[in-house]
Amino acid sequence: MAPRPRSEAFLWQTCGNSSGPCGEAAGTFLEENMTTDPLSASNGTGGILGWIERSGNRLPDPVVIFLYCILAVIAISVIAAATGTYALHPTQADAAGNPLVIRAESLLSADNLRRLLVDMPRTFTGFHPLGYVLVVMLGAGVAERSGLLGTAMSAAVSNVPRLMLTPAVALVGMLGNLAADAAYVVLIPLAGVIFHAAGRHPVAGIAAAFAGVSGGFSANLLPGQLDALLFGITEAAAETILPAWDANIAGNAWFIVAMTLVFLPIIWYITDRVIEPRMGPYGEGGFQSGRAGNVEDAATETGDSTTYDTAGGDIGQPEVGNGDPENPEGSGAGTEGPGASVAAAERRGLKRAGWAVLGVVAIWVFLCIGPGTPLIDESAPIESRFNPLFQSLVAGFCVVFLAAGWAYGAAAGTVKNHRDLVDMMKGAMGDMAYYLVLSFAAAHFVAMFNWSNLGLIFAIQGAAVLESSNMPDTLLMASIIIFGAVLNLFIGSASAKWALLAPVLVPMLMLVGISPEMTTAAYRVGDSATNIITPLMPYLPLVLVFAQRWQKDFGLGSLVATMLPYSMFLLLSGLVLTILWVFLGLPLGPAAPVSFAMP
């Protein structure tokens, strides 16, 4: 059996309750490295955080929450229809030229029951985010399973000067969200190892990585899977008030770049000036280095029996004859740091992946300027001329991930033939099993909410209240951010929360002149900031285990106290950024303004 690629080997050894390559082996790791439940192993579960943890644990699974919401919508629709609840449509008129009357419809009516049962397959497959996410994940699954994403993250933080180690880890963490679970299970433990190798406190490295990956969850330099997911939900919500509105996956592109530029120095400052000084020096006799150092040496110094094999073989079993002429034994001897120990095949794979990305970009450029300009609608008005290009970005990300993963795997030996490629894509779809179940429930909630006309009625009446209140747009956006941050303490899933909120928030704010892109951006700020302090964060136990491998008495209270400064300042800076953005009226992305005018 061929040895696992470096990233997958690391994943299998260190990841926890996760999907994909981190499955059964992750559970074994947690059982072997934990004697107690990390969330109950400390006294940090009292007070407000303890109440949040206990309250959140009482909540059912998000799928069941959607089913309860469906039952509630059915009951409300029956009452609203019986009492004659209605609203006047702000843009549509009837045959007589009067405003169209939108009346509440009972979901127990014969027509709606027939629609529910007859159109059930169409309701599910027509759920906007479903196609977007599955298409992107077909390519991303290949990039992850081939080892490209893990190797790229490891190479990005290897041999970084000690002074720049924190911003490098934080930046790779934010960019690593393009890699989904891999950022949590590869970068966070790797950051602890590299910080220790550089003579710094390893738990500070874990904190910086966790803040970047989770606290900066929506920040990035490129749109990705999250953009496809959220804008799919936004599109469905916006179409209730304006059926012709189409999602633009790059609709938050400039805003998330700004988030990255704002969050990066904050994570850097808090790590180096607040968190690490508070922790003090780590251990005794720790070696110092001007650079990140050698991962294998760092793991050995901790007394951990695990060897972090960065040469390509299974962990704890260095690969012999790895193809690296400078280190033919694959033992790690003679290396200068993690970057130097990257196998020659992996280095070659990264180069080929880079060429593959450039090739895909060149194809997209040709489709914009070549004969017929397939991705540019030259007959459309200037403001919508680039819509085909923006709408092709979902396919573009799929092709980029697929081509880069294939090119990397072919060079690194993790993709030997087309069957390996198909197996990786099949595995990626297997990882999406829970999302499919969640999407089935969410799709029917959104559809039934629309069938009842309750969402449109609430949006129209809510917009009237907001308009009469003369509340500034900046205050509206700040309210959404704070509400999303508080709700995130109880419901962790970004898509589940947005599927519940978007059907009312998006059309309501469109009616008062705020674009769907701006509403989505404000939601993203609030959804990210409190990820790192809620006990319901799925990866919190895993991060706690990573920290306890370096500091045995590091409990939940310690972890939350460590991450709280990050959460507070990320939320505050996100609020300030959003308020300034709205005040200045800056575009959120290509053809994505802050304001919106109903046609």
- Beta strand 99-103 pairing with 86-93: antiparallel
Cα gap 212→218, rounded to integer Å: 10
Q: Which of 304, 267, 203, 211 is nearest to 544 (CA)?
A: 203
Strand blocks (E) in 128-238 = none
> In tens digits, what is the pLDDT along the chain, a chain of 599 residues?
333 333 333 333 334 333 344 444 344 444 444 444 444 444 444 555 456 545 655 667 778 888 988 999 999 999 999 999 988 877 677 777 788 888 999 999 999 999 999 999 999 998 877 887 788 888 888 988 898 877 887 777 767 777 889 999 999 889 877 765 667 766 788 788 788 878 889 999 999 999 999 999 889 998 877 888 899 889 988 988 888 888 888 899 999 999 999 999 999 999 999 999 988 888 743 334 344 444 434 333 333 333 333 333 332 333 333 333 333 333 333 334 444 445 788 889 999 999 999 999 999 999 998 888 898 888 876 656 777 887 787 788 889 989 999 999 999 889 999 999 999 999 989 888 888 888 898 889 888 988 998 877 877 787 777 777 778 889 999 999 998 888 888 766 777 788 878 888 898 899 889 999 999 999 999 988 898 887 667 677 778 878 888 888 887 778 888 898 999 999 999 999 999 999 999 999 988 999 998 87
Residues 6+ apart with CB under 8 A from 266: 566, 569, 570, 573
Q: Give the pLDDT of residue 15.
A: 40
Residue 88's φ and ψ, nearest 5 degrees, are: -95, 125
Q: Left, alpha or beta for 47 (phi > 0: left; psi -120 to 50: alpha)?
A: left
- CA 230/CA 331 separation, integer angstroms: 45
**What's phi and psi for 312, nearest 5 deg?**
120, -15
The DSSP secondary structure of 16-34, one letter per residue, reads: -S-STTSSHHHHHHHHHH-
The Cα–Cα gap between 15 and 422 comes to: 24
Looking at the DSSP bridge assignments, the partners of residue 88 are 101
> CA nearest 508: which of 472, 460, 457, 446?
460
Burial class (CB in 10 A: 0-12, 13-18, 19+), 543: buried
The pLDDT assigned to 422 comes to 93
DSSP symbol at 292: -
pTM for the whole structure: 0.64
The pLDDT of residue 114 is: 95
Output the six-digit token pair for 357: 């990305």
DSSP 515-547: -HHHHHHHHHHHHHHTTTT-TT-TTHHHHHHHH
Q: Residue 360: its pLDDT value, please?
A: 94
Round to whole Å and give the CA distance between 411 and 416: 9
* pLDDT at residue 56, as a whole number: 53
Rg (CA), the chain: 25
d(CA 293, CA 482): 41
- The tokens for 294 are 């050698």
Supply angle C-alpha 491, 492, 493, rounded to 5.
105
Closest CA to 480 of 514, 442, 447, 450: 514
Q: What is the pLDDT of residue 342?
A: 53
Contact 323, 195 (CB under 8 A): no
